[in-house]
Amino acid sequence: MSLRGARAAWARGWGAGCRRGASDLPRPPPRAVDVAELLRDATVAEERPRAAEARRPPGQCSVLLFPGQGSQLVGMGRGLLRFPRARELYAAARSVLGYDLLELSLHGPQEALDRTAHCQPAVFVASLAAVEKLQHLQPAVIENCVAAAGFSVGEFAALVFAGAMEFTEGLYAVKIRAEAMQAASEAVPSGMLSVLGKPQSKFSFACLEAQEHCKTLGIADPVCEVANYLFPDCRVISGHLEALQFLQKNSSKYHFRRTKMLPVSGGFHTRLMEPALEPLTQVLKSVGVKKPLVSVHSNIDGKRYMHPKHIQKLLVQQVVSPVKWEQTMHAIYERKKGVEFPKTFEVGPGKQLGAILKSCNLQAWKSYQNVEVLADDDGGA
């Protein structure tokens, strides 16, 4: 991959017009187009990248991880504003969303930022602005990127970074997704419960008993199921609030060491989100999805996306399916003994994905860094 190619993988959409209703989405400044052509150049000769990748020492390669909903914090973005292209992303986002996302991200209030309709676009834009910071400070990280993955809505940011979607189209799809999920969550009192268990914990059995409890309360079709596989013995369970409260009350029975309600508004990644499927399906039909220029791993099964139609199908399915993050980490970092691990960068607010990586693969985590988005660290990433 050439350095010129590597400076702009995700920004492919910055230069092209958006297909949604001609040009009612903004055309960002042409100088922000660098990073997509970097990866596109690398695919011109198929045999050369394969050979170059084989020669590149694994320890010089990089992996980018994009966080999801729940990582948002008031103040995020402040550490990115001295990078002009990061500011341009927020300016473009204002046109797409119809409100000042940067103002909300910087000053809150937290309750407004936590709303699903707001926090998903906020995390998406902050993550791609963090890529701009990383490209400015450590361009070799972008040039040597071999894989990317995003947690839930973070998968959209990973795909934009990899050139599979244009920025404005990806953001508009996230907007529709977030608004549809917000509406679905308001229809039924539901939530998500983080559970740290033990090897003997029986998550599925616990969910079945919680569903039976809900039926005794008159809930006709109760939902309680594993929504996120984080690391060994740690799951997020999603469903009706009554089911989650039952699990908290009976945590010792199921050998749960710790339970904690997450700051989200609904039972995401379950069939409670089915009303959001049709709006997301329709908006993705209007998005020009392309084959990613670096490997992007799907939340559905941890495998790499291979075809644009595959992307569109699984992004919809993801809304009502568990996020298999633990499996994704194994797929990305599995290697023979003695082979170096790539450098990993968490691009976006928080360090949650780094903490999960540490529990999934301690050796891989030793080469982990996060890109600061809250404060200007004025140094490296």
**Full DSSP string of 245-270:** HHHHHTGGGGT-SEEEE-S-SS-TTS
The Cα-based distances of 67 to 114, 159, 164, 183 in angstroms read 15, 13, 18, 22
Residue 139, pLDDT score:
96
Give the pLDDT score at 30. 35
Q: What is the dihedral of CA 160, 317, 117, 374, to 10 degrees?
A: -50
151 token code pair:
């947690």
For helices 116-137 and 154-161, angle between their N-to-C axes, nearest 10 degrees: 40
Q: Report pLDDT for 37.
A: 45
Instruction: Read off φ and ψ for residue 350, nearest 5 degrees.
Output: 85, 175
Question: Do the strands 368-371 and 258-261 form a parallel or antiparallel pair, or are they unpaired?
Answer: unpaired
Spatial strand order of the sheet with 258-261 comes to 258-261, 190-196, 234-240, 224-231, 323-324
Per-residue model confidence as pLDDT tens for the chain (381 residues): 333 344 444 444 443 333 333 335 444 433 333 444 433 443 333 334 444 445 678 889 999 999 999 899 999 999 999 998 999 999 999 999 999 999 999 999 999 999 999 999 999 999 999 999 999 999 999 999 999 999 999 999 999 999 999 999 999 999 999 999 999 999 999 999 999 999 999 999 999 999 999 999 999 999 999 999 999 999 999 999 999 999 999 999 999 999 999 988 899 999 999 999 999 999 999 999 999 999 999 999 999 999 999 999 999 999 999 999 999 999 999 999 999 999 999 999 999 999 999 999 999 999 999 999 998 765 445
Here the tokens at position 121 are 């676009």
* Residue 238 bears catalytic tag: no
- Annotated active-site residue in 269, 295, 297, 321: 269
The Cα 26–Cα 360 span in angstroms is 41
Catalytic residue among 152, 201, 238, 321: 152
pLDDT at position 375: 82
Residue 146: exposure state from Cβ atoms within 10 A (0-12, 13-18, ≥19): middle
213 catalytic, yes or no? no
Q: What is the pLDDT of residue 57?
A: 84
